[in-house]
C-alpha cells in the first residue's frame, strides 16, 4: 500500500492545524469584541437607563422549567432518529445531549456540542456513521421547524401593529425557507451521493445513513413535530423571562422574532455566539418595535438562564447516569 506524502501525525502538519485553530479563535474573539463595542455604543443610553429587577420570580422559575423540558424534548427528538437496533439507553442519550448542549454555549455557532455528542454516541454504540447521520438529521429537523415557524409567524405581521420595518420579516422568513429547501435537496440528492462515493469510506458511510432516512417518513414527521414543539418552548422561555424582568415584550412580538433570531444566532463567527446573539435580538425585535436596551437585556437573561439550566443538568447527569448501556 502506498504511504501518503504527509502523515496525519506529522509534527509540521499538527503544528499547522494548531496554528490554524488558534488563528480561528483569535478572529472570533476579535469579532466578539467588535460586536460588544457596537452594542454598547448603539444602545448605550437605553442600557444606562435600564433598571434590572426581578419583578416576577415565579415566571423565572417557570422559564427554567420550560427550558428543562425543551432540553429533554430535544434529546428525545435525537433519540427517535437513531435506528432502534443502534440505540443506547435514553438516560445515556439525554446525558450526551445535555453535555453537548453545554458545549454549544461555549463554542462558536452552536456546532461544537454536536461534535461532542456525536463522539460520545460513537464511543457508546461503536457506530460513527449513525452518530454523525443522526446528529445531522436532528439538526435538519430543527432547521425546518425554525423556518416553518418563522414563515407561519411572519404572516401574523399583516395583522400585528408592529414597527415600521416589520414587513421585512416575511422576506427574511421566505429567504430562510428557500435556503433550507435548497440545502436539504442538495444534501440528500443523488449527485451528492455520487460525489461521496469518490471520497473516503467514512464520509460515504455517514451520507448513506443520512439518505436512508428518506425511507422512513413517519420517523421524520415525528421528529419534526417534536422540533416544532421545541420552538414553541423557546418562545415561551423568552416570554416568561421578559415577564420576570418586567420587559415590555409581547408574545406576538416573540412569536414573530424568536425563530429568525435563532437562525441568525448560530452563525459561527464569535465565541459562544456572544455579540451575534445580542445583535440578532436587537435588530429583529427592533423590527417589531422593541427598544434596543430591552432586547439586549432579554438576550443576556435568556442565555444566562439556559446556560445555568444546562450546566445543572450536565452536573446531575454526570453524577447519576451510569456507564453506557445498549437498549434491548
The reply to whether 185 falls in a domain is yes
> What is the C-alpha separation between 238 and 233, in angstroms, rounded?
9
Provide mean pLDDT across the span 303-317.
85
User: Which residues 6+ apart lie within 8 Å of 278 measured at CB?
Assistant: 35, 39, 295, 296, 299, 300
The dihedral formed by the CA atoms of 119, 231, 269 and 121, expressed in degrees to the nearest 10:
0
Q: Residue 18 — φ and ψ, nearest 5°?
A: -65, -45
Number of domains in the chain: 1
* C-alpha cell read off for 273: 455566539
Q: CB-hemisphere CA count at 13 Å for 31?
A: 20
pLDDT at 13: 47
The reply to whether 223 falls in a domain is yes
Q: pLDDT of 131-179, one tens digit each?
A: 888 888 898 898 899 888 888 877 766 665 544 445 667 777 777 788 8
What SS3 state is found at 50?
coil
Are the CB atoms for 104 and 113 separated by under 8 Å?
yes
Task: Give the distance, in angstroms, between the CA of residue 200 and the centroid of all CA atoms in the same chain.
Answer: 28
For 162, the domain range is: 57-320
The reply to whether 221 falls in a domain is yes
- What's the predicted TM-score (pTM) here? 0.78
Q: CB-hemisphere CA count at 13 Å for 274?
A: 15
pLDDT at 38 over 60: no
Are the CB atoms for 108 and 269 separated by under 8 Å?
yes
The reply to whether 47 falls in a domain is no
Q: pLDDT of 172-200, one tens digit each?
A: 777 778 888 887 877 777 666 566 666 66
Q: How far apart are the first and last CA of the chain?
A: 41
The reply to whether 250 falls in a domain is yes
In this prediction, residue 63 has a pLDDT band, given cuts at 50, 70 and 90, of: very high
Q: Residue 74 — φ and ψ, nearest 5°?
A: -65, -40
The reply to whether 131 falls in a domain is yes
The 3 state secondary structure assigned to 193-224 is HHHHCCCCHHHHHHHHHHHHHHHCHHHHHHHH
The reply to whether 22 falls in a domain is no
The reply to whether 91 falls in a domain is yes
Q: Across the strands, what pairs with 88?
A: 326
Amino acid at each position: 500500500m502506498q504511504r501518503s506524502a504527509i502523515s496525519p501525525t506529522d509534527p509540521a502538519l499538527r503544528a499547522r492545524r494548531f496554528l490554524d485553530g488558534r488563528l480561528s479563535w483569535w478572529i472570533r474573539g476579535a469579532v466578539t469584541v467588535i460586536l460588544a463595542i457596537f452594542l454598547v455604543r448603539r444602545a448605550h443610553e437605553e442600557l444606562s437607563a435600564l433598571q434590572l429587577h426581578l419583578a416576577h420570580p415565579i415566571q423565572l422559575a417557570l422559564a427554567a422549567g420550560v427550558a428543562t423540558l425543551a432540553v429533554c424534548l430535544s434529546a428525545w427528538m435525537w433519540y427517535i432518529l437513531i435506528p432502534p437496533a443502534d440505540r443506547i439507553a435514553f438516560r445515556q442519550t439525554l446525558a450526551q445531549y445535555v453535555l453537548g448542549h453545554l458545549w454549544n454555549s461555549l463554542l462558536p455557532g452552536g456546532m461544537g456540542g454536536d461534535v461532542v455528542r456525536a463522539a460520545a454516541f460513537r464511543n457508546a454504540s461503536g457506530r460513527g456513521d449513525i452518530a454523525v447521520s443522526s446528529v445531522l438529521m436532528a439538526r435538519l429537523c430543527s432547521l425546518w421547524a425554525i423556518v416553518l415557524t418563522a414563515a407561519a409567524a411572519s404572516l401574523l405581521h399583516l395583522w400585528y401593529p408592529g414597527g415600521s420595518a416589520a414587513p421585512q420579516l416575511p422576506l427574511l422568513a421566505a429567504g430562510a425557507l428557500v435556503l433550507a429547501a435548497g440545502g436539504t435537496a442538495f444534501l440528500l440528492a443523488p449527485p451528492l451521493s455520487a460525489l461521496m462515493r469518490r471520497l473516503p469510506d467514512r464520509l460515504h458511510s455517514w451520507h448513506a445513513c443520512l439518505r436512508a432516512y428518506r425511507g422512513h417518513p413517519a420517523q421524520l414527521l415525528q421528529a419534526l413535530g417534536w422540533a416544532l414543539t421545541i420552538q414553541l418552548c423557546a418562545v415561551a422561555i423568552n416570554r416568561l423571562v421578559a415577564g420576570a424582568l418586567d420587559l415590555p415584550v409581547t408574545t406576538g412580538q416573540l412569536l414573530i422574532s424568536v425563530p429568525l433570531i435563532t437562525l441568525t444566532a448560530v452563525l459561527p463567527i464569535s465565541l459562544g455566539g456572544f455579540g451575534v446573539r445580542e445583535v440578532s435580538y436587537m435588530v429583529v425585535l427592533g423590527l417589531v418595535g422593541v427598544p434596543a436596551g430591552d432586547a439586549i437585556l432579554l438576550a443576556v437573561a435568556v442565555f444566562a438562564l439556559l446556560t445555568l439550566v444546562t450546566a445543572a443538568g450536565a452536573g446531575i447527569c454526570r453524577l447519576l447516569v451510569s456507564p453506557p448501556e445498549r437498549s434491548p
